[in-house]
Amino acid sequence: MKQKLWKQVWVACTFACLMPNHVMAQSTPSAPPAIENFFKLNNFGGASLSPDGKSVSILMAGPDQRLALAIMDTETSKLQVIAKYSNLDIVSARWVNNTRLVFSMGDRQLAAGQQRMGPGLIAIDKDGKNEREIIERNSTPDKPKFRVLTPAYQFHSVVGKPDSNDVYVVQGSGNRRNPALTLFRVNTTDGVVTGINSPINSVGFMTDYNGDLRIATTRAEKLTTIQYKDPKNDTWRTLIEFDSVKEDGFAPEAIGPDGSLYVTAHNGKDTKSVYKYDLENNRIIPEPLIELDGFDFSGDLIFSKKLNKIIGVRYETDAVGTLWLHDSLKKIQAKVDALLPSTINNISTPRNQGELVLVNAFSDTVPGLTFLYHTVSGKLTPLGVSRPDINEKQMSYTNFVKIKARDGLEIPTYVTLPRNSDGKNLPLIVMVHGGPYVRGGHWQWNAQTQLLASRGYAVIEPDFRGSEGYGKKLFQAGWKQWGLKMQDDLDDARQWAIDQGYADAKRVCIAGASYGGYATLMGLIRNPDLYRCGISWVGVSDINLLYNVSWSDNSEQWQKYGMPFLIGDQEKDAAQLKATSPLEQAARLKNPLILAYGAADYRVPLVHGTKFYDAIKGHNKDVEWIVYNDEGHGWRRLDNNLDFWSKVEKFLEKYLRQ
């Protein structure tokens, strides 16, 4: 803690430093924005209202780009920095109660391979007093500290009672074979730690509105179990057991103020919906509470303890939305939307709802703005802008469409056309998301997409089969389809863009990271005539390497149960894994290619890159090989992002423009 700076005069800039420049009238500059603007560190890390609504915590950066923790009094608008470090960033902060907070730290200026310490946890009063270290950052301190936990512990959640100074922390097993968690309760004023009775092999916990542990999710080998601690007798009982990969169970979503349990489940349908769970009879109540057409539920249930019920639902379909079930909040949302008509405006209220709400505003062209809205005066007070160097008038619009693949399956897709173009006959980037068993596309500002669009490229981002978030049919259609039908979907998205008149068939590049890097390599191998070039970074080059590399951070459970079922079994599917291995077919790849890796990557270790580069460099002279020694699974440092995307810019100019 010796590096701490208590110079509160730094905050003299107050809101002048935080005011979003681009909400003012601006003309559209002719020159494209600098690459640096897309990857600079955020100078605003978010804000949160205290439970009583009297204070706002703000993570804000000064000239040194280090995020500090400041507190604003909502009555006087006085801003006070209560924690700042010269060599660290405060990356997250949570209110413990009305007067006390906890925060964690990190170093945003270091690459993944340079990170040597954990996030730690510090507790502090909102006036900057009574600071206490709860979790040590350094795994090898000079000497043990009294009532300070080691970095093996991490913050989990606050207890949430107005009179409680406690938080929950978890300790990881550190075992790739069985990555279980143990839950503890810590008093943030005296550091006293209390063990919590929880099932063995727990991987997730959920507390009720009183801050008591109620739900534990456990995983042993391939079996997932949801257990419930009954408040009537304080004993654990099983609600459901299911195969983690194959079977259709449910996931705990929330516990309401009255103790009701809400879960997300397919319950015999294609998409996941929200259901109420009957704890007396151990069953899902059949009628869904929230069902989204064509989308799995992803979002939050918003409760009122005072009203003892759900008052709102935040969800994501093609974009994020909020359904308010309370008249006053409906009116507040309408008024905020009228003041900010060009953005999605997520409002959040303090636990004890008062006259203030927090507004987080964003869109496809606006990275993020945060305001306080005064419900009585109708005034918006700016708190921060995440990327002040981004001018929304230079950004391009993103649209959501559904494309029919060759077998009739609908592929959800996001399409971005350059803002100042006619949208016709453009050079096209087929951008492939990683995962791959995740939702890739979201209607929000995306640095990579917007950078490419600002250079005149159309960008298409298909959520190919195997992607989650759109129902079981799309997800299951991607099982064991690496390099096969998953690849067809990318080719079909390319053809769709050409058929719409957006793209020039002779100027298409395929690009992506992780699984997207794998798909880039396979795209160039399978159909070299469809893609002029490719950009693969941190990409899988051989599925067998995912199984065999001992220093990968993939869990043994995933390798033993998930990968054989979703990707392919090393023995039963050996022929398919060979046929869909870029490394095995490297001799077929003759198109121009950027091949980039991080030497400190534990998800897709560097050996994926070195083996593939060794196999291709002899016959393909148009391969640009890039290694960032300290980077992991993606680039964190600004200088590396500048280097990489500058190379991408020149590469695309050479092969898609000339």
Indicate whether 643 pLDDT > 80: yes
Residue type, 303: F
Q: Rounded to 5, what percent of the chain is helix, strand, coil?
A: 20, 35, 45
Share of the chain above pLDDT 70, in %: 93
Query: What CA dihedral angle connects 549, 536, 600 and 86, to 10 degrees?
Result: -150
490, burial (CB in 10 Å: exposed 0-12, middle 13-18, buried 19+): buried
Answer for the pair 132, 64: CB distance below 8 angstroms, yes or no. no
* pLDDT confidence of residue 161: 80
Higher pLDDT: 432 or 222? It is 432
Least confident piece of the model among 7-21, 24-38, 485-499, 609-623: 7-21
Per-residue pLDDT tens digits for 338-384: 999 999 999 999 877 778 999 999 999 999 999 999 999 999 999 99
Least confident piece of the model among 24-38, 390-404, 469-483: 24-38
Predicted confidence band of residue 3 (pLDDT cuts 50, 70, 90): very low
Per-residue pLDDT tens digits for 143-201: 556 678 988 899 999 997 878 999 999 998 777 667 899 999 999 999 999 999 999 99
Task: Show the tokens assigned to 510.
Answer: 């395929």
CATH of 396-657, one of 3.40.50.2300, 3.40.50.1820, 3.20.20.150, 3.40.190.10: 3.40.50.1820
Q: Kindly tell me the number of DSSP H helices and DSSP E strands found in the chain.
A: 12, 35
CA distance 179 to 195: 19
Higher pLDDT: 529 or 658? It is 529
CA atoms within 13 A on the CB side of 411: 32
Domain limits, the chain: 326-388, 396-657
The DSSP code sequence of 368-402 is -EEEEEETTTTEEEEEEES-TT--GGGS--EEEEE
Average pLDDT, the chain: 92
Stretch 454-470: mean pLDDT, rounded?
Answer: 98
Residues 6+ apart with CB under 8 A from 570: 544, 547, 564, 577
Per-residue pLDDT tens digits for 511-564: 999 999 999 999 999 999 999 999 999 999 999 999 988 667 778 888 888 999
Indicate whether 139 pLDDT > 90: no
CA distance 455 to 648: 11
Predicted confidence band of residue 412 (pLDDT cuts 50, 70, 90): very high
CA distances from 581 to 103, 122, 171, 482, 535 (A): 44, 47, 38, 9, 17
CA distance 11 to 583: 54
Indicate whether 207 pLDDT > 90: yes
* pLDDT confidence of residue 141: 56
Indicate whether 28 pLDDT > 80: no
* pLDDT confidence of residue 140: 56
* pLDDT confidence of residue 658: 72
Predicted confidence band of residue 29 (pLDDT cuts 50, 70, 90): low
Place of tokens 């955020």: 42
CA distance 271 to 293: 8
Higher pLDDT: 436 or 22? It is 436
Per-residue pLDDT tens digits for 109-126: 999 888 878 899 999 999
CA distances from 549 to 182, 482, 607 (A): 28, 19, 8
Predicted confidence band of residue 60 (pLDDT cuts 50, 70, 90): very high
Residue type, 653: E
* pLDDT confidence of residue 144: 59
DSSP 41: P
Least confident piece of the model among 15-19, 270-274, 535-539, 605-609: 15-19
Predicted confidence band of residue 2 (pLDDT cuts 50, 70, 90): very low
H or E element, residue 333: helix 327-339
With the C-alpha atoms ordered 483, 488, 489, 495, is the resulting torsion angle positive or negative? Answer: positive
Per-residue pLDDT tens digits for 371-381: 999 999 999 99
* pLDDT confidence of residue 26: 35
The DSSP code sequence of 73-84 is ETTT--EEEEE-
CA distance 570 to 184: 40
